[in-house]
């Protein structure tokens, strides 16, 4: 067990890293962040920042020498760096698990291999793979196998010709062509798996995306018919990867009631931000507990909650180009409302700037508050 007061290490510099720092620091740990940028959401609040590339040997050695355990806040960290760090100290999650989920082809193959359904798809490594793609994959979505996020690196394609053009526009990097599915809803499960294999699963979240970016998460102790199968699938995935750390499994529910796995994130997730104000333990505190070898925290939900993402768009009211600071005082005046801003210097459209958690005595109360905020931030 790593005691409070000791140093924990983090690879990555974004908002997930910032919230991890806050949670680890609240438990009394010190955090060293390795991130190539001169400043950023995590580096700004870390106890120490190593400015180095994720594959910079000197930076990794320094991180290994000064910390007791290392975690990550994004999936695209080089697996070799995780493997090197693992030869020196505890690394959660491990290189192998991250390697599987950072590649959509390997990820889908792994999940399907567990007997858990995924979207109909085909791996596209060369343009000829599209010639033989079955008709049921059109209309579809072509997704780059690596490095995509927030709907980036994706193209909606109606025909093979469009798919070939999109593949070329992605410079023919490996891709996955997925059938465009008629979604009834999207769910996610955030869970932690400890060093001893013990699992703690947060309540299932319902998510709404706009243009490929998460917009709203709603969580209640409602008895969803999908809560049990989604939870079981997430645990099977975590066990199958011998995963240690916090992970998120995103699901699609189809109109006909089928539950499919969309993708896995080997880290806390935007759809788990609700835990910060609605659960006994936040997903970030859970991440710190796992890496320190401490007992996992309770995942109990204290109140129904609506999480609203705050994108840079709200700094540009109407359709104008004029940047206006949103009226945060009006937001903070509302009951049971928690504002989290990531301290990003520049508000850009479609950029995640923060989020707001609204809890309520009932789900209807939380939804009322959230609707009020959506109106305020128009
Ligand atoms: P990202 O890595 O950007 O989160 P996802 O694969 O999760 O990529 O896609 C983002 C969103 O786009 C999904 O949450 C969903 O709303 C929509 N989407 C992705 N794939 C499909 C699909 N096959 N059918 C319908 N909608 C999809
Ligand atoms: Mg996603």
Domain-embedded: residue 213: yes
CB distance 254 to ligand 1 below 6 Å: no
Non-local (6+) Cβ contacts of 150 within 8 A are: 212, 213, 350, 352
Domain boundary residue among 154, 179, 204? 179
CB distance 183 to ligand 1 below 6 Å: yes
Domain-embedded: residue 111: no
pLDDT of residue 223: 67
Please choose from 101, 144, 205, 209 the residue to mutate so as to test ligand 1's pocket, defined by most ligand atoms within 8 A of CB: 209
pLDDT of residue 79: 85
Domain boundary residue among 139, 157, 179? 179
Find the ligand nearest to 102 CA: 1
| 227 in the same domain as 83 | no
Domain boundary residue among 41, 72, 91? 91
d(Cα 244, Cα 91) in Å, to the nearest integer?
9
d(Cα 257, Cα 276) in Å, to the nearest integer?
30
| 218 in the same domain as 349 | yes
Non-local (6+) Cβ contacts of 237 within 8 A are: 111, 114, 116, 243, 247, 249, 261, 264
Question: Distances in Å between the alpha carbon of 303 and those of 149, 186, 224, 283, 363?
Answer: 30, 21, 16, 16, 8
Structural domains counted in the chain: 3
CB distance 52 to ligand 1 below 6 Å: no
Distance from Cα 377 to the centre of ligand 2, integer Å: 25
| 209 in the same domain as 332 | yes
Which atom in ligand 1 lies closest to the alpha carbon of residue 250?
7
Domain-embedded: residue 99: no
CB distance 350 to ligand 1 below 6 Å: no
Question: Which residue is closest in CA terms to ligand 1's atom 18?
Answer: 212
Range of the domain at 135: 120-179
Q: Is residue 180 part of an annotated ligand binding site?
A: yes
CB distance 372 to ligand 1 below 6 Å: no
Please report the ipTM that was assigned to this predicted complex: 0.97
| 360 in the same domain as 305 | yes
| 82 in the same domain as 204 | no
- Beta carbons of 174 and 157 less than 8 angstroms apart: no
| 266 in the same domain as 350 | yes
| 310 in the same domain as 170 | no
| 195 in the same domain as 162 | no
CB distance 181 to ligand 1 below 6 Å: yes
Please choose from 120, 262, 269, 352 the residue to mutate so as to test ligand 1's pocket, defined by most ligand atoms within 8 A of CB: 262
Domain-embedded: residue 259: yes
Domain-embedded: residue 306: yes
Which atom in ligand 1 lies closest to the alpha carbon of residue 140?
23
- Splitting the chain (378 residues) into consecutive groups of 10 residues, what average pLDDT does each group show? 98 98 98 97 98 98 98 91 96 95 97 97 96 95 91 92 96 97 97 98 97 95 88 98 98 97 97 98 98 98 98 90 94 97 94 98 97 95
pLDDT of residue 113: 98
Domain-embedded: residue 37: yes
Question: Distances in Å between the alpha carbon of 148 and those of 153, 223, 235, 245, 315?
Answer: 5, 33, 25, 22, 25
Residue 225 belongs to domain with CATH number = 3.30.470.20
| 209 in the same domain as 144 | no
Domain-embedded: residue 200: yes
| 252 in the same domain as 194 | yes
| Tokens coding 82 | 């995780």
Quote the pTM value: 0.96
- Parallel, antiparallel, or unpaired: how do β-strands 121-124 and 199-201 relate? unpaired
Domain-embedded: residue 1: no
| 173 in the same domain as 187 | no
CB distance 303 to ligand 1 below 6 Å: no
Helix and strand totals (H; E) in the chain: 12, 18
| 365 in the same domain as 310 | yes
């Amino acid at each position: 067990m790593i005691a409070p007061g000791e140093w924990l290490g983090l690879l990555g510099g974004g908002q997930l890293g910032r919230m991890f720092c806050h949670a680890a620091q609240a438990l009394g740990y010190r955090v060293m962040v390795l991130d190539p940028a001169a400043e950023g959401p995590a580096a700004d609040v870390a106890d120490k920042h190593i400015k180095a590339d994720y594959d910079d040997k000197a930076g990794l050695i320094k991180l290994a020498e000064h910390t007791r355990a290392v975690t990550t806040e994004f999936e695209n960290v080089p697996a070799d760096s995780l493997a090197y760090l693992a030869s020196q100290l505890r690394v959660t999650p491990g290189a192998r698990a991250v390697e599987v989920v950072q590649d959509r082809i390997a990820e889908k193959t792994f999940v399907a291999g567990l007997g858990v359904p995924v979207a109909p798809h085909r791996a596209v490594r060369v343009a000829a793979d599209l010639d033989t793609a079955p008709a049921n994959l059109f209309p579809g979505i072509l997704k780059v196998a690596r490095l995509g996020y927030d709907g980036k690196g994706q193209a909606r394609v109606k025909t093979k010709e469009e798919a070939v053009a999109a593949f070329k526009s992605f410079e023919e990097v490996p891709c996955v062509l997925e059938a465009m599915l008629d979604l009834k809803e999207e769910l996610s499960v955030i869970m932690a798996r400890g060093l001893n294999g013990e699992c703690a699963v947060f309540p299932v979240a319902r998510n709404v995306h706009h243009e490929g970016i998460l917009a709203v998460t709603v969580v209640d102790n409602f008895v969803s018919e999908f809560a049990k199968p989604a939870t079981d699938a997430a645990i099977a995935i975590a066990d199958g990867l011998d995963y240690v750390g916090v992970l998120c499994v995103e699901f699609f529910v189809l109109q006909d009631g089928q539950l499919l796995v969309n993708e896995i994130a080997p880290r806390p997730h935007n759809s788990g931000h609700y835990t910060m104000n609605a659960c006994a333990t936040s997903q970030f505190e859970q991440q710190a507990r796992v890496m320190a070898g401490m007992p996992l925290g309770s995942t109990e939900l204290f109140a129904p909650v609506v999480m609203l993402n705050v994108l840079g768009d709200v700094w540009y009211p109407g359709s104008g180009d004029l940047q206006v600071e949103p009226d945060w005082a009006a937001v903070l005046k509302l009951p049971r409302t928690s504002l989290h801003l990531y301290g990003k210097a520049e508000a850009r459209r479609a950029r995640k700037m923060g989020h707001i958690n609204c809890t309520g005595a009932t789900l209807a109360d939380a939804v009322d508050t959230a609707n009020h905020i959506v109106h305020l931030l128009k």
